[in-house]
Every structure is written in C-alpha cells, then in structure tokens.
A and B are shown apart, each in its own frame.
Chain A
Amino acid sequence: MPIDPRHVGRRYGPFHKTVCAEQIRSFAIAVSGGVPGYFGPAQADPAPGGALVAPPTFGVTFAMEPFALACCDPELGLDLLRLLHAEQEFEHGAPVRPGDELTTEGEIVEVRSRGPLDFLTVRTETVNGSGERVLVARWTAVIRG
C-alpha cells in the first residue's frame, strides 16, 4: 500500500549523542577487525581521544534514529517484515572525534512507489558542538508489496 504523501515533512529529533573513543574503536573492530587506517599516525591530533577519527559510516551510531523511528512510526504503519534498507547516502563534513557532542535532526523528504514497491526517504543532518556540519545523510527504505 503506498505511503501517504502527507507524511512528507514529518520530523524526528533533535537527538543528542556524545562520541567516545571506545565506541569508535568497538565499531572499527566489529566492522573491520581494526583496519590500521583508523588508528594510524596520520590521524594524530591533540583533540581529546588523540589519534582517533571515526570511520566513514560511523554516522549510523548517531544519525540513524530519525530513520529508525520513521520506519516504526505507527502513523505510517509500515510492515517491518517487508521492510529493507534500499539506498544510503552520506556526505561528511568535519571529522567526528571522541568528545564531540552531536545533534541530529531528521525529516521524511520523499515517499514514492514503483510497482509493488514503496519507498520512504529520511534526510538527516548532524552538527557538532561548534555548529559545524559533520554529516548529511539520506536513508531510504523499501517496503516490498
């Protein structure tokens, strides 16, 4: 069943997260087994946490919530057993480092249908404590008819 277009513009957040070094390390180890690039001297920096820079898709830990809430939103009534992650875009700004205080807001920006498939797209924007944009992401789910 097509998603009602009146939900476009529905907003979720703001959500606040504080990044910690152990979370970055755990993420890198779970995903990659600790690829040296995540810990190498090229990232040396006097910032709290020293050398650590978050891996490129670490945004899932702080920016996914608006998308997850939209998928589970009773107002939309999506069938989670038929729902899959369909598309994803990340545009990174300032690097994410331990100690960063991040704020994310999200909005449903598109609903569309193609044959038996219904698509939902949520756009999120995350800024750090200095007001610098660290991530703009587009999260698209497909609900299989």
Chain B
Amino acid sequence: MKSASAFHVGDSFELVREADRYRPIYYAAVSGDFNPIHIDREIGRAAGFPDAILQGMCTMAWLADACAAYLGGPARVKRLKVRFSRPVVVGDVVTFRGRCVAIEGPVVRLEVEARNQRGEEVLKGASAEGWVEGEA
C-alpha cells in the first residue's frame, strides 16, 4: 500500500479516456441512467448537441479512477466535487490532469482539470480529497 509519506504537494498524475460510441450504453447498463440523450444520437441532436452525450457521472467516474490510482486505492477517495461545464460527446477523448495541492495530516487534497481533444474544459472546479492512512 502506498504510504502517507509517499505523497507530496506538487505531485501530478494523468489519465486519458475515450467516449467511444458504446461507452454511454455500457455506462447506462451498469448505472441505470438510460436517459435517451445518452444513448440515442437523434435525441442528442434534438437537444442541440452533435451526437449523444456521455453521462456526466461516467466522466466523474473516470476522474475518480485517476484520483484512486494516484491515492493508492478506491477506498481512499473520500470526497469528489465537479461541475460539468461542457458535455462530453460521443467520440471525444478526455484527458484528466491532476495535482496534489495540499496535505493536512492524513488528508490529501487534489485538483483536477479535464479537457477534451480540442482543449476545452469538460469539468470545472474538479477537486478530490483522499484519506491516506489506514485501509486503502
């Protein structure tokens, strides 16, 4: 297990994920979010987007993956907070770049930016808090 002393302010981490054609459908199947805007291209277009859009919670799950990998385990992710500033459209590739901004005892604070392949932010103010003592 990654020990508390292994974390440093200024550490950075990165994760890249693609919203392939089937990702919103896979995500609907496991999350229960079958809102047609996510799985039907025509509904996505009717709502004003170029295609179906990925569930925001899937983008957030990827953010959580990035943080969990850095923190050393899923149970270490204690808080997550995001604003979905721009929909992730089918075909988009999202790059998450995170950094450790503070360490207060066992609490590790992270800030993460998430951009699509055009460099546009898809999340704003994304932050996470890890707890790096005890169970991971």
Give CA–CA (A23, B30) in the complex, Å: 7
- Residue B56, interface by CB 8 Å: yes
Checking B47, B60, B68 against A82 with a beta-carbon cut-off of 8 angstroms, the contacting residue is B47
Give CA–CA (A64, B34) in the complex, Å: 12
- Residue A1, interface by CB 8 Å: no
Q: Which residues of B contact A53 (CB under 8 A)?
A: 73-75
- Residue A113, interface by CB 8 Å: no
CB pair B61 A32 closer than 8 Å: yes
Total interface residues on B, CB under 8 Å, equals: 40
Chain A min CB distance to B43 (Å): 8
- Residue B95, interface by CB 8 Å: no
Q: Which residues of A contact B91 (CB under 8 A)?
A: none
- Residue B1, interface by CB 8 Å: yes
Q: Which residues of A contact B83 (CB under 8 A)?
A: 86-87
- Residue A92, interface by CB 8 Å: yes
CB pair B75 A31 closer than 8 Å: no
Contact-residue bracket for chain A: 20 to 34
Q: Which residues of A contact B9 (CB under 8 A)?
A: none
Q: Which of A26-66 contact B (CB under 8 A)?
A: 26-27, 30-32, 35, 37-38, 40, 42-43, 53-57, 60-61, 64
Q: Which residues of B contact A85 (CB under 8 A)?
A: 55-57, 84
Give CA–CA (A43, B76) in the complex, Å: 11
Give CA–CA (A23, B27) in the complex, Å: 12
CB pair A37 B69 closer than 8 Å: yes
- Residue A2, interface by CB 8 Å: no
Q: Which residues of A contact B81 (CB under 8 A)?
A: 87-90
Known contacts: A30-B30, A60-B33. The answer to whether A55 contacts B68 by CB under 8 A is yes
CB pair A31 B74 closer than 8 Å: no
Known contacts: A32-B65, A55-B74. The answer to whether A61 contacts B79 by CB under 8 A is no
Q: Which of A82-117 contact B (CB under 8 A)?
A: 82, 84-92, 95
Known contacts: A53-B75, A56-B67, A81-B47. The answer to whether A89 contacts B80 by CB under 8 A is yes
Interface of A toward B, CB cutoff 8 Å: 23, 26-27, 30-32, 35, 37-38, 40, 42-43, 53-57, 60-61, 64, 68, 80-82, 84-92, 95
Closest 10 CB pairs of A and B: A85-B56, A56-B64, A56-B77, A30-B26, A57-B61, A31-B61, A30-B30, A27-B30, A89-B81, A95-B75
